[in-house]
Structure 1
Amino acid sequence: MKQQKILVVGSANTDMVIQTDHLPVLGETILGGTFFMNPGGKGANQAVAIARLGGKITFICKTGRDVFGHQSHQLFEDEGIDTSYIFSDSKYPSGIAMITVDHKAENCITVAPGANMNLTPTDLAKARSAIDEADIILLQLEIPMETVEYVAKVAKKQNKKVILNPAPAQPLSEELLSALYLITPNETEAELICGQKITDIDSVTKAANLIKAKGVKNVIITMGSKGAFVCTDTICELVPSYKVKAVDTTGAGDIFNGALVLAISEGRDWIEATRFACKTSAIAVTRVGAQSSAPYRNEVDVFNPEK
């Protein structure tokens, strides 16, 4: 099978992470945490995950003309990502995320998007050839909605497989939903899209079908430690997660999405692709950081944890 071309359009941030015993409550100051910086951003995390798994990947984003932007660009090239359409913004700084991670691997995140929110349809028009050449396109919502909608609209006209990871959660237009080959919300995002509270298999099945009724061809709802629920025209099934000792869940959803898209590009069926994504993200949560936690293909191939 000819290797398919994958395009990721999304955000690139620098993550500033502090590890603490517990997450602070309102007004609380915590001392004694360990600090480090990592490259992040949902789009960048997904692009790096795909590259490390062997995908043929082009990434479109916008960074500031600052040290963080220069570092990001160099890191993408080092990962083997096509950086031909990474734009440099003279007005806004590169995106920054402030992340606190507790001893249970739970986190809270605040993002200053900077140049990410200035990635415009005009920029994407300049990168039209990347859209034209792609077989699969992966999008998220840390860039302007009008840009996401522009890419989806152009790609739909060419019958591309458009996949949306609808995070962070926000309302989605029917026009955008109808352009999607696949959407991959978590439980909270799924509830926002369809209005159905998710508490068990029956409710997640109803939620997935309500989302499909809005025009999306396929739905995969990620459910944390429970796994991922796959709903297509032929199957509705929960793929269980793998049991590991989590250290940091930051970026786990992005690693899942990158691995899922890579597996789809290789022609795997829905269950096999989702199982591959669950395995890849299971490895990621045993490591600290977002992009830095993304495993390489050989690591996933030999990983055989308990389900």
Structure 2
Amino acid sequence: MRPTGICVVGSLNVDLIAYLGAEVSAASYVTGQNFEMAAGGKSLNAAMSIASLDPTVTLVGRVGSDHLGDFITGALRERGITTEGIIRDDLAHTGVGHVRVNPEGEYDTVVVPGANGNFSPADVDAYLEDHEPPAFVVLNLEVPLPAVRRAATRFRELGSTVVLNLSPVHAEAKDLLGLADVVVMNLSEACHVLNVPQSTDVPLLLKALREAGAKTPVLTLGEGGVAALSGNDLVQAAVEPIRVVNSVGAGDSFLGAMVLAMANEHPFPVCLRAANEAGRLVCGRSESFLTPADVLHIENVLGVSLARASAGR
């Protein structure tokens, strides 16, 4: 039987987000305009975006046995996502991301992994003992690399399509390119992995990523949209400009929308257009993932339903 569904494996954090003011203060003291606490982490953001259309998405990872872990599981349940794949870790606190967003919407983050750092290959095996493999599994590098390797290998062996977000980039990231069916990264990450200048031509980058093992490499280009190599075809999609408020979850929402469209068997160019619009929408506000209203907007922009035509709405 062909696998169905989407599973996101990896990181769950509580994001403590400080929005900086426009004025630069002296003596390393900066005054903020606003503060928010939000459920975050690359895997959680992607799962939340997918759940905007498909609440059956599963999320596998670790949180601490603390109030922040309760905050995350509560946010997941509120969105309709099951928490049965979430391990409560008695030996570590819930992961925390300390995020600072400047007036231009750009951010820097200090991530304290906490329970994410204990996510292991054994956790992947334990999940698969009790669950059928999904049609798609979504991974990133925000948990230990041995767990990522194990997940990519096991899920792929069981017939899942593996989508890997090569972020945050590591020195060993190049070794993972051949473990996934689709590899997504931004321009800076690609240049780091290949050890080439930032000025390298995008088609050459994609070709080099393919030669390094990436079956379908996808490059996000910020205001330049997205470019990918699908089979022998160079696929590109532009993106409309938007006033950036917070770019923290843009890449994760891009990933979620792309996988959602792929899982519903849309042509790859449509998947990239949906992903582009998802990333653009999330950049325009503080929340780091898509809402059901966003999915309707994306469908109106594309002129197609992101759900399968036979499934209806």
Corresponding letter in the other structure for 1:133: P
Q: Distance in 2 between matches of 1:130 and 1:220?
A: 32
Q: Distance in 2 between matches of 1:213 and 1:22?
A: 45
Corresponding letter in the other structure for 2:183: I
Aligned to 1:256: 254
- 5+ residue gaps, structure 2, are 303-313
Aligned to 2:57: 57
Give the alignment of 1:133-212 within 5 angstroms.
133-172=133-172, 176-199=176-199, 203-212=201-210
Deviation at 1:238, TM superposition (A): 2.4
- The answer to whether the 8 A contact 1:39-1:292 is kept is no
Deviation at 1:236, TM superposition (A): 1.1
Deviation at 1:26, TM superposition (A): 10
**Aligned-partner SS, 1:247:** coil
Deviation at 1:4, TM superposition (A): 3.5
Identity percentage over the alignment? 24
**Aligned-partner SS, 2:281:** helix
Q: Distance in 1 between matches of 2:177 and 2:226?
A: 20
The CA deviation string for residues 158-216 of structure 1, in whole angstroms up to 9 with x for no partner, is 2321111011111336663222100001011111222232436xx11111111111222
- 5+ residue gaps, structure 1, are none
Aligned residues: 301
Q: Distance in 2 between matches of 1:237 and 1:139?
A: 22
Quick check: 141-150 or 53-62, which moved more? Answer: 53-62
Deviation at 1:292, TM superposition (A): 7.1
Quick check: 116-125 or 236-245, which moved more? Answer: 236-245
Q: Distance in 2 between matches of 1:278 and 1:181?
A: 20
Q: Distance in 2 between matches of 1:184 and 1:124?
A: 22
Change (3 A) 1:139 1:23: farther
- The answer to whether the 8 A contact 1:230-1:271 is kept is no
Give the alignment of 1:73-152 within 5 angstroms.
73-129=73-129, 132-152=132-152
Deviation at 1:151, TM superposition (A): 0.6
TM-score, length basis structure 2: 0.89
TM-score, length basis structure 1: 0.91
Q: Distance in 1 between matches of 2:257 and 2:11?
A: 18
Q: Using CA pairs below 8 Å that are at least 6 residues apart, which structure has the higher relative contact order?
A: 1
Q: Which of 217, 239, 247 pairs up with 2:237?
A: 239
Change (3 A) 1:208 1:130: farther
Q: Does 1:37 align with 2:37?
A: yes
Corresponding letter in the other structure for 2:147: T
Change (3 A) 1:294 1:255: farther
**Aligned-partner SS, 1:83:** coil
Change (3 A) 1:25 1:184: farther
Q: Distance in 1 between matches of 2:300 and 2:132?
A: 35
Corresponding letter in the other structure for 1:288: S
Change (3 A) 1:241 1:130: farther
